[in-house]
Amino acid sequence: MWKEKRFGMFIHWGIYSVTGWHEQYQMHAQIPKEEYIKLADKFKPLCFNADEIVLLAKEAGMSYICFTAKHHDGFCMWDTKYTDYNIMNTPYKKDILKELEQACRRHNIGLSIYYSLPDWHHKNAYNPNSTHQLPVPNKGDEPNMQLYIEYVKNQITELCTNYGEICSLFWDIPPNIYDASVNQLVRTLQPHILINNRGYDEGDFQTPEREIPDGYSFKTPTEACQSVGVQSWGYRKNESYYSKRFLCQSIDKIMCMGGNYVINVGPDFNGDLPEQAVKLIKGIGKWYQSCKKAFDALPATEYISKNDCLYTSDSNNLYIHINHFPVSDSLALDPIDFLPEHAIILNNGEQAKCYLESLPSLCAEGKNKPKEYLQIRDLPIEKFANEVIIIKLSFSRNILDYIKKLV
Ligand code: FHN
């Protein structure tokens, strides 16, 4: 899965969407459990169209969808037999995870599952050694990690048995309890699954969230996650949305480091995606689809960190990612001192204008005759101000080997 599925859609959805405040409304607003569960009686998202959401992801170049089967509130968005606190006991009465899974299969999109270990409903789940817990256990709770892990194992068995092939499992909030038997169970049920590092053992991949780690390339498998919303992962009525440029820069940086990226949207209580979320996914998707070959190439910034750009490379191709806000419409690419065979601006497929020129900025005073190096000019920096410009240079030789010999 890892390299074929670089880019995915995260979907945070649950009864918290009825409030339109945040997916952690119950805890932040300190809503008593007996009050909060009444949201389930109002949950009837008749506008939910699984095919529409899956096709939005597919058209954006995404190859999998990660769905919150259960978030911290403990409400289950699938037909589970281990608690009545689930989607079948709402006015909607249908298994949303099954609807989403079937749409994923119809459109050849992978299905990943998110499962929260904090559970503000289950009486044994309170875990003082972890985070994202209620301030105090609910009245009548009996915190007991072994009993709760049994519940988790039973539910994860349902999720790994009844919904076809699951490409990855996103445990959320490390419990700070080591128990290798949980992921062993998952792997016996789903032999090809990849599991993140937020569960009961180290898992298969790390999960930087909203932040961009330092460095030029990830040394271990990595899936970064971010939401289109600044404040919330679940639906928020008055959400502030990130700019397209910010999200393109974030995706570009992570992928230039060799990481995967999953970007989150939150359907509202009707099952619709907010207009601004759809607009962002479509805009980012158009950019990603035109530039994605640059992300299949390998990280190269550690070999050629010029112009504050990021670089990826495969054999004779060098991809230049103008990830920062461009300071000018040209790029000096010393030490390259010959022209590429082809130069394409991936954002629009047009030719990039390349020249061999001597640059005063590269001449030590009177010490050496000006040497000509590769220069790219007249880049359309205004036209693509709200995305990352990526240029593909194709040479007659392995450009990275050439550069490595020079530095
Ligand atoms: O608390 C959750 C949050 O609501 C959201 O689900 C993110 C997504 O990775 N995980 C936790 C915060 O790290």
User: Hey, what's the torsion of the CAs at 258, 186, 48, 29, to 10 degrees?
Assistant: -90
Distance CA 344, CA 193 (A): 37
Nearest CA to ligand 1 atom 1: 132
Q: What is the pLDDT of residue 100?
A: 98
Q: What is the pLDDT of residue 407?
A: 67
Q: Which residues contact 176 (CB under 8 A, 6 or more apart)?
A: 127, 129, 130
Distance 24 CA to ligand 1 centre (A): 9
Distance 172 CA to ligand 1 centre (A): 7
Q: 137: cis peptide before it, omega within 30°?
A: no
Distance CA 59, CA 9 (A): 11
Do 261 and 226 contact (CB within 8 A), yes or no? yes
> What is the per-residue DSSP string for 159-190?
HHHSSS---EEEEES--S---HHHHHHHHHH-
The stretches of 108-167 forming alpha helices (DSSP H) are 145-161
* Each residue's pLDDT expressed in tens, for the chain with a length of 407 residues: 567 789 999 999 999 999 999 999 999 999 999 999 999 999 999 999 999 999 999 999 999 999 999 999 999 999 999 999 999 999 999 999 999 999 999 999 999 999 999 999 999 999 999 999 999 999 999 999 999 999 999 999 999 999 999 999 999 999 999 999 999 999 999 999 999 999 999 999 999 999 999 999 999 999 999 999 999 999 999 999 999 999 999 999 999 999 999 999 999 999 999 999 999 999 999 999 999 999 999 999 999 878 899 999 998 999 999 999 999 999 999 889 999 999 999 999 999 999 999 988 877 776 667 889 999 999 999 999 999 999 999 999 999 999 888 76
Domains and CATH numbers, the chain: 7-296 (3.20.20.80), 299-406 (2.60.40.1180)
Q: Which two tokens stand for residue 329?
A: 């419409």
> For the whole prediction, is pTM greater than 0.95?
yes
Unique residue bearing structure tokens 């289109």: 228
Q: What is the pLDDT of residues 150-198, one digit of tens each?
A: 999 999 999 999 999 999 999 999 999 999 999 999 999 999 999 999 9
Distance 336 CA to ligand 1 centre (A): 44
Residue 196, beta-bridge partner list: 205
Do 357 and 375 contact (CB within 8 A), yes or no? yes
Do 208 and 224 contact (CB within 8 A), yes or no? yes
Using only C-alpha atoms, what is the Rg of the chain? 24
Distance 72 CA to ligand 1 centre (A): 9
Do 166 and 112 contact (CB within 8 A), yes or no? yes
- Tell me the average pLDDT of the chain: 96
Q: What is the pLDDT of residue 5?
A: 87
Q: What is the pLDDT of residue 301?
A: 94
Q: What is the pLDDT of residue 305?
A: 77
Distance 234 CA to ligand 1 centre (A): 10
Distance CA 229, CA 328 (A): 30
Atom of ligand 1 nearest to the CA of 234: 4
Distance CA 18, CA 16 (A): 5
Residue ranges around ligand 1 (CB below 6 Å): 23-24, 132, 172, 209, 225, 233
SS3 282: helix
SS3 300: coil
Q: What is the pLDDT of residues 28-65, one digit of tens each?
A: 999 999 999 999 999 999 999 999 999 999 999 999 99
Q: How far is CA 87 from CA 94, 98, 162, in A?
A: 7, 11, 16
CB 192: neighbour CB atoms within 10 A?
Answer: 10
Which of 66, 230, 233 to mutate for ligand 1's pocket (most ligand atoms within 8 Å of CB)? 233
Q: What is the pLDDT of residue 124?
A: 98
Q: In what order do the strands lie in the sheet with 331-332?
A: 331-332, 372-377, 353-358
Which of 209, 262, 263 to mutate for ligand 1's pocket (most ligand atoms within 8 Å of CB)? 209
215 DSSP assignment: S
Distance CA 349, CA 205 (A): 34
Q: In what order do the strands lie in the sheet with 7-11?
A: 194-195, 168-172, 110-116, 64-70, 7-11, 260-265, 223-227
